[in-house]
């Protein structure tokens, strides 16, 4: 009898345990999980950005990772935080140019791009050679593609490659003259149309783009040329070549013309098509000076990829990215987004 009573007690204890577990599963107790740690990340990022802006250092921290890390170390006491940052909409510190050019053209371009400074920061351009028949690592990693001196070559066979390239964030700049009718790539991608007679003017003019969208490709190139890079803006004989066709925008939109013949505003020697595609006449066939090279550099910078360059976000348990619109106007008016991320590794 004593053993039977003991077994009943064991059974009752087991039933109580089962019931307790069942109730905990189906009727869990109220629990509150604080989100203060997550909120603190956002507050810290916001305070860092605003403080940087108020002391006039945000532009420096946007493009100088070392300076930003030093400021974060002195501003935030938590040593376990992971930080990362990027920019969107600004010319990058380092630009990769995929160039379908001769060796001499690459040497010239390297000379013209050397020592660029915009709003107090140095812009470095790195070139790599690429052909136009296959997609190669040079094209894939580049911020802008430069095609130089292919005006007499039919580019129709590579139209699909150029369109695939434009699906990314890089732009295309072509430097060419035409002595014969242009092909479908010139019409469909670069937006060009040619007439039957050559240009006979001996002077050109830079056309200020119409007021409107400050992010328009034409305005960006014009802004860099007139404000971002120093030098006289007169451009004698920029378009003039005795064997060159008269080039106009294919769709008749003359607002795409940045440089034209002085006596004929519809006869172009620089046309900016879409958001990141540009054609300019090859000025190296004649006498040229700093103003010509300055225009080419301005167009390359305007067409280059300005999207965030970070390949991945650091591994972490929790993290937040805080965006902030910043403005700089030392040499030229520059508007971009600065993104600061903070996170916990575990």
User: Over the stretch 298-326, which tens digit does the pLDDT of each residue have?
Assistant: 999 999 999 886 555 777 777 889 999 99
Q: What is the pTM of this model?
A: 0.83
Where helices occur in 250-332 by DSSP H, the ranges are 290-303
| pLDDT of 236 over the 50 cut | no
14 vs 327: which has the higher pLDDT = 327
Distance CA 329, CA 335 (A): 9
State pLDDT tens for residues 39-53: 888 899 999 999 999
**pLDDT grade for 107, boundaries at 50, 70 and 90:** very high
- Other CB atoms within a 10 A radius of the CB of residue 98 amount to 25
Distance CA 300, CA 146 (A): 8
User: Angle formed by the axes of helices 65-75 and 36-54, to 10°?
Assistant: 120
- Cβ-based burial of 9 (10 A; exposed 0-12, middle 13-18, buried ≥19): exposed
- Determine the longest span between alpha carbons in the chain, in angstroms: 123
- Other CB atoms within a 10 A radius of the CB of residue 128 amount to 15
What phi and psi, each to the nearest 5 degrees, are found at residue 159? -60, -40
Instruction: Give me the half-sphere count of Cα atoms (radius 13 Å) on the Cβ side of residue 99.
Output: 22
| pLDDT of 207 over the 70 cut | no
HEC secondary structure over 146-166: EEECCCCCCCHHHHHHHHHHH
Percent of the chain with pLDDT over 70: 83
Hey, what are 97's tokens? Answer: 């140019």
């Amino acid at each position: 009898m004593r053993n039977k009573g003991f077994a009943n007690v064991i059974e009752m204890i087991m039933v109580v345990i089962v019931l307790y577990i069942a109730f905990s599963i189906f009727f869990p107790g109220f629990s509150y999980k604080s989100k203060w740690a997550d909120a603190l990340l956002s507050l810290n990022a916001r305070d860092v950005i605003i403080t940087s802006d108020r002391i006039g250092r945000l532009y420096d921290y946007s493009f100088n990772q070392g300076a930003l890390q030093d400021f974060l170390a002195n501003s935030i006491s938590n040593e376990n935080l992971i930080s990362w940052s990027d920019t969107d909409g600004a010319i990058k510190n380092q630009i990769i140019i995929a160039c379908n050019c001769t060796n001499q053209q690459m040497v010239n371009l390297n000379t013209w791009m050397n020592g660029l400074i915009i709003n107090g920061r140095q812009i470095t351009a790195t070139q790599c050679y690429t052909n136009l028949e296959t997609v190669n690592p040079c094209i894939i990693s580049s911020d802008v593609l430069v095609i130089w001196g292919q005006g007499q070559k039919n580019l129709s066979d590579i139209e699909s490659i150029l369109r695939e390239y434009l699906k990314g964030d890089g732009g295309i700049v072509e430097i060419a003259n035409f002595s014969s009718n242009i092909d479908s790539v010139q019409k469909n991608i670069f937006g060009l149309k040619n007439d039957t007679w050559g240009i006979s003017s001996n002077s050109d003019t830079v056309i200020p783009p119409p007021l409107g969208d400050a992010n328009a490709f034409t305005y960006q190139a014009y802004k860099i040329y007139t404000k971002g890079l120093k030098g006289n803006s007169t451009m004698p004989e920029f378009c003039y070549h005795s064997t060159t066709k008269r080039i106009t925008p294919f769709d008749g939109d003359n607002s795409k013309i940045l440089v034209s013949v002085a006596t004929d505003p519809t006869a172009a020697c620089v046309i900016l098509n879409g958001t990141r595609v540009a054609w300019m006449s090859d000025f190296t066939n004649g006498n040229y000076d700093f103003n010509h090279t300055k225009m080419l550099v301005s167009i390359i910078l305007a067409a280059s990829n300005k999207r965030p360059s970070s390949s991945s976000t650091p591994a972490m348990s929790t993290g937040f990215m805080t965006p902030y619109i910043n403005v700089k106007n030392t040499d030229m008016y520059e508007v971009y987004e600065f993104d600061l991320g903070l996170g916990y590794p575990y």
